Amino acid sequence: MNVHCASETVAVSAERRWACIVIAIIVLLLAMMVWTGLHWAAMPPSRVETVDVRTLHLKGEFVENNLGTAVEKDGRVVVRLVGQQYSFVPQCIVVPAGVPVTFRGTSSDAIHGFVVGRTNANTMLIPGFIATFTTTFPKAGEQLMPCHEYCGTGHEAMWARFQVIPADEFFARAKTAERISCVPG
């Protein structure tokens, strides 16, 4: 075998190897798409839990006095909120810093969405579905939480305040109140 032939053999086997790697990556990505599509359902984001829009304000999890931040019996911090044309209920949300916070939200009319400042807390609120995700806010401070889905003429005025307070302060307040509300100011 001369030098030319040997280098050709090396090139062919390298090409085959890389072709196999590329095909494996494509197959893996397709499998992930199919799996997440079937398992988690692509729409709406995060979960497929449904809720009846017609009775949203009357009974169940999203009645007005059940909205806001609460520490559940199992110790989880849960924020429940509703988006409606053109405000969030509650108008100000308070959470502890450095502790996982679970959001559960829905909409009573159009599709809304929200993002908390420059964090990864970001979801759509779709009528009839409960959007839920869990995230942690490492730093204390106040952020804005605007609606980021065009929901009608009042869309740009739809936003809430979002306060991250030190965890010890939060849990001290959680001992005396079932729902924790924002510090005024």
Residues that bind ligand CUA (CB under 6 A): 83, 86, 112, 147, 149-151, 155, 158
How many Å apart are CA 105 and CA 145, to the nearest integer? Answer: 14
Is 166:96 a contact under the CB 8 Å cutoff?
Answer: yes
Of 152 and 166, nearer to ligand CUA (C-beta) is: 152
How many Å apart are CA 29 and CA 23, to the nearest integer? Answer: 10
DSSP label at residue 40: I
Query: What six digits make up the tokens of 163?
Result: 């306060």
The CB-of-123 to ligand CUA minimum distance in angstroms stands at 13
Of 80 and 112, nearer to ligand CUA (C-beta) is: 112
The CB-of-179 to ligand CUA minimum distance in angstroms stands at 23
User: What number of CA atoms fall less than 13 Å from residue 123's CA on the CB side?
Assistant: 24
Of 93 and 151, nearer to ligand CUA (C-beta) is: 151
The CB-of-83 to ligand CUA minimum distance in angstroms stands at 6
Of 78 and 82, nearer to ligand CUA (C-beta) is: 82
The CB-of-27 to ligand CUA minimum distance in angstroms stands at 39
The length of the chain is 185
